[in-house]
Structure 1
Amino acid sequence: MEIISVIIADDHVIFRKGLRAILNEIAEVKVVAEASNGQELLNTLKTQQADIILMDIKMPVMDGLEATELITKKYPNINVIALTMHEEIGYFNKMIDAGAVGFLLKKTNKDELERAITMVMEGDNYFSQEFITSINKHTLPKKTSNISISEREQEVLELICKDTQMQRFRKCLV
């Protein structure tokens, strides 16, 4: 596997340095640059290529949402993964609409971070399992006795809740 070049965009220096140290433990990943805001990131991209950008959402000067919109239009080969502390569905929707192909919470671990990078490089989307579970708890209606669904519909719903990776979902339904 070729080396995956990553840029970290986050306004907290200590977080960037810690994330860089974690990413340096992954053999296939090389952090090629860091940026403290979206404008700095856009300037960096004029001279530095990247496969993936790990993008914070809330940053000064230019936030991750605006930067993601601009980057996905100007650099369509760069994959943006949101890496944020914000667990609200609104942030998720805005980042996906802006062109992000992944959404991770900052409390993620190294294994999930590596899995997200790998899957995105393979052309898949990746959404944090913890985030999806949290959203499901708040958005799925409680089971009531008035609702009647078939066994197949129940199976589909369980797959949606258990596994958000749509490629695996499609394979299971065949």
Structure 2
Amino acid sequence: MEKKIRIAIADDHALFRRGMVSLLNMNDDFTVVLEAANGQDLINAISTTKPEVILMDLQMPILDGIRATEQIKRIYPEIKIIVISMHDEDQFVTRLMELGANGYLLKDADPDEVERAIRTIVTEDYYYGPFLVKVMHNRITNKPIKKEVPKLFVPIDLSERELEVLKFICEGMTTTQIAEVLFLSARTVEGHRNRIMEKTGTKNVAGMVAWAVRNGIC
């Protein structure tokens, strides 16, 4: 039997939390190993329950989802976080992605999309659903017009090659595809990607794209 995906749910609304537990436990590939009503209880229990994926609300007492995301990604960078919230403000969403969230869903998302997001971030590290794609599109098309070329607005010293790689990442290209276009090895492209994350202080591909959008690169 294949290993089940271990999931934690953090939400201060017991009814929503229990509904998610029931939904996910109906799937033979998932198992809910942790429920928490706030971010602090979640963090306290991670070391013993060892979830692979966390479904995280934002507005919670004691420790909210923003601070919990930041702390978890610092201590447990391998854990995938999907934010599930009622908040749909563009700047708010991109900030969470910069902190390392691997996906962002609204609470009225279809149950099938929740399951699809979980599977996707386990295999691909991030999930860009219709809502997140719309947010990124809004950030790109509605940003103020700048006269200078985008790279002059980057407050971090990215090389020309790193900027190329970052732009291709924004377009959704894989490491292999980028390597083919730039006539580089996949390992070299991975090296550029890792340096970009280090320089920008981001945790994953989603965070890099959010940072690039905010800085006018994509």
The DSSP-based 3-state class of the residue aligned with 2:77 is coil
Q: Once superposed, what is the RMSD of the aligned Cα atoms?
A: 2.5
* Structural mapping, 1:22-61, within 5 Å: 22-61=23-62
Give 2:5's aligned amino acid.
Answer: I
Q: Post-superposition shift, 1:70?
A: 0.7
Q: Is the 8 A contact 1:105 1:131 kept in 2?
A: no
Q: Is the 8 A contact 1:105 1:128 kept in 2?
A: no
TM-score normalised by length of structure 2: 0.62
- The equivalent position to 1:166 in structure 2, one of 144, 166, 172, is 172
Match for residue 124 of structure 2? 123
Aligned residues: 152
Q: Distance in 2 between matches of 1:32 and 1:72?
A: 19
Q: Which runs of 5+ in 2 are unaligned?
A: 143-169, 182-218
* Structural mapping, 1:11-22, within 5 Å: 11-22=12-23
Q: Distance in 1 between matches of 2:94 and 2:139?
A: 15
Match for residue 65 of structure 1? 66
Q: Which runs of 4+ in 1 moved over 4 A?
A: none
Q: Distance in 2 between matches of 1:140 and 1:64?
A: 28
Q: Which runs of 5+ in 1 are unaligned?
A: 142-163
TM-score normalised by length of structure 1: 0.77
Q: Pick closer, same or farther for the CA change 1:165–1:101 going to 2, 3 Å.
A: farther
Match for residue 164 of structure 2? none
Could you say which structure has the higher strand fraction?
Answer: 1
Could you say which structure has the higher helix fraction?
Answer: 2
Q: Distance in 1 between matches of 2:171 and 2:109?
A: 17
The DSSP-based 3-state class of the residue aligned with 2:108 is coil
- Give per-residue Cα distances to partners, 1:6-59, cap 9 Å, x unaligned: 000011000000111111122211011100111110111132101000011111
Q: Post-superposition shift, 1:97?
A: 1.6
Q: Pick closer, same or farther for the CA change 1:167–1:103 going to 2, 3 Å.
A: farther
In percent, how many aligned pairs have the same letter?
Answer: 37
